[in-house]
A and B are shown apart, each in its own frame.
Chain A
Amino acid sequence: MTINDGWLRDLGMELRRRGVPGGTADHVVAEAATHLRDSGEPPMAAFGPAGAYAAVVSDSVGAAWRRARRPAPGPMRLRARGIVKRYRRRDVLSGVDLTVHAGEVAAVIGANGCGKSTFLRICAGLISPDKGTVQVDGSIGYCPQDGGTIDFLRPEEHFVLVGGGRNWSRERSRAKGRAAAATLDWDASTPMLSRHLSGGTRQKLNLVMAGLSEPDVLLLDEPYQGFDRGTYLDFWEQVWRWRDSGRAVVVVTHMLNQLDLVDTVLDLSGANRERWS
């Protein structure tokens, strides 16, 4: 009985993490409980690991639900055209194009060193390309792969600093930051300095900072480094939320298992292969 209870609790948690709506999640858990009682089977034999079963459930209802409530893509938010970047006479990017509309997610993929981060930094306007333009309609939020936080400040002070750029009151910045952190299963009211946070938590801080000022375009450079599996799922749920609220999101990633859920895939290693041939 206790084995069942533990497994059912895990299932409920995993379902919620994957964004399955609360009512549906409760029903799935209750139905599984009834099944276990009726059949007398142990949960692992009947359903397998709670996380895996939750993933299957989320795929059959969550994905449909996600697609159903998803608004149609809006106006163009980001358009990179003919981006060329050379380092030491080597073309890192050779004529890369990318267009992302409001309510769309684009994934930038490719092997290490193929220029994914460089491309994102060019889109953010942090570095200049050798050729090409980036057209942006709206404000930009950028989350770097690492760095980007201030060692001797607390998480909430980071929020105040970022919110200050929008002329928000300190309390408003703090409250918004804490709320965004909570969606990543993180209590950001800690008095710990950023330098003492674990790598994964610091990346959560980075991610919250990027989204805090509610930018129209979010540029995320593999922000989930150091995340455990649950947080990784929370991260993608956050990406879907941003998309559903009409943001344009660009995610640099080397993980391919989420690609079926994004709208555009820009494969930079593919572009380079073309160049070699």
Chain B
Amino acid sequence: MRKLGVVADMTLREMLRRRGVLILLLALPLAFYVVRRNGYTGESIRALFLGLSWAISTAALFSASAGRAVEPRLRLSGYRSHHLYLGRLAALLVLGTGIAVPLLALVALDPAQDKVRTGGVALAMLLCVTVAAPFGLLVAALVPRELEGTLVLLVVVGMQMVVDPAGAGAKVMPFWSSREIGTYAVDHTGSGYLDRGLVHGVAFTLALALLVAVLSSYRLRTRSHMRFASGR
């Protein structure tokens, strides 16, 4: 637990020192929100969710890329791979929550949004963060460089934006849950949207985290040519 804490602490410090990135992380969802604000109420909130998801997954992508050179060394100095990916994930969840809270406050205080269910918006944002963080880590593990990763995230968020939420393909998109819960929160639909969204969000969070765990453990595995003397 202490090892995990140290990794999370240092990852968080590292991210918080990138001031420019932090400002962009806040500005991006905000811009999505403001651009759509004059239109239909639900549109701006859904755009905000997507902006938040994109921001957090991008942060995760960059954080994982920055750590790639160091993690093998940390493995050698006594960390197991789960300390490393869980620590990074924890830091991203903290960062994501830190960014989501002011955005939630914005929605709650915006007079144009006085009819939305704030609890629903909060839940949707939470799922945005919990899905986006492992999603960004997964993309980082699959592509060689940050540039490719950024493009992948752009494509995913772009598709998520244009895909028909009722269509069969929409459910395989990672951020579908926030859209469903968003509909519940904005349009005051029945709890079916909420339940579906919750199940989808939790399932995606767990599945993505599991994939990240598998890939990290493989990348940081003890190589088969290494023979360690017993007793150490």
Contacts and interface: CB of A to CB of B under 8 A. Distances in A.
Q: Do chains A and B touch in the complex (CB under 8 A)?
A: yes
A166 B6 CA distance: 11
A142 interface: yes
B35 to A, nearest CB: 31
A134 interface: yes
A134 B225 contact: yes
Interface string B2-23: 1100110010011101100000
B189 interface: no
Interface stretch (A30-38, A154-162, A265-273): A154-162
Contact of A212 (B3, B72, B77): B77
Interface string B26-67: 000000000000000000000000000000000000000011
Pick the most buried of B69, B73, B79: most chain A CB atoms within 10 A of its CB.
Answer: B73
Contact of B76 (A137, A141, A161, A164): A141
Contacts of B228: 136-137
A162 B229 contact: no
A188 to B, nearest CB: 16
Interface residues of B, number: 30
A126 B75 CA distance: 10
Interface in A132-185: 132-142, 144, 147-153, 157, 160-162, 164-167, 170
Chain A interface main SS type = loop
B225 A141 contact: no
Interface in A84-141: 122, 124-129, 132-141
A193 B17 contact: yes
A125 B10 contact: no
A15 interface: no
Nearest to B79: A165
Most interface-central of B13, B17, B224, B225 (chain A CB within 10 A): B225
A207 interface: no
A167 B79 CA distance: 9
Contact of A213 (B13, B15, B77, B225): B77
10 contacts: A135-B227, A136-B228, A141-B76, A150-B70, A152-B15, A152-B18, A164-B6, A164-B7, A165-B78, A166-B77
Given A124-B76, A142-B76, 16 more contacts: A125-B225, A128-B224, A133-B226, A137-B229, A138-B229, A140-B76, A141-B76, A147-B69, A148-B69, A152-B15, A162-B74, A165-B79, A167-B78, A209-B77, A212-B77, A213-B78
Interface of B: 2-3, 6-7, 10, 13-15, 17-18, 66-67, 69-70, 72-74, 76-79, 222-229, 232
